[in-house]
Amino acid sequence: MPYTGHVRKRTTKSGITTYQVIVEEESSFANGKRKRYYKTIQGGKKQAEKVMRDMIHELKPELLSKTIGSRFGISCTSGWRST
């Protein structure tokens, strides 16, 4: 299940510009829903894009542990967050 992401520009009523980073998994075969991760950044667009790349990079080890563990029947999740 690859992760994808995008950055959404948000402006508050007081005029402050923030960016919302949204990273999501491909839809699950079990229920057809996508799991989404959100983070709000008060900074520039480049900073928000960097946060998005970092979030995707953080989530990829979880994906690797799920696929390796299911294929070979081993557990390799030590030190990684599991969902």
What are 21-45's pLDDT values in tens digits? 999 987 767 787 888 999 999 999 9
d(CA 52, CA 50): 5
Q: What percent of the chain has pLDDT over 70?
A: 70
Nearest CA to 67 out of 17, 25, 20, 19 is that of 25
d(CA 31, CA 17): 35
Q: Is 63 left (phi over 0), alpha (psi -120 to 50) or beta?
A: alpha
Q: What is the pLDDT of residue 62?
A: 54
Enter the pTM of the model: 0.65
For 6, 48, 65, 74, the CA distances from 39, given in Å and listed in that order, are: 11, 9, 24, 32
Q: How confident is the model at residue 60 (pLDDT cuts 50, 70, 90)?
A: confident
Tell me the average pLDDT across 48-62.
85
* Average pLDDT value for the chain: 78
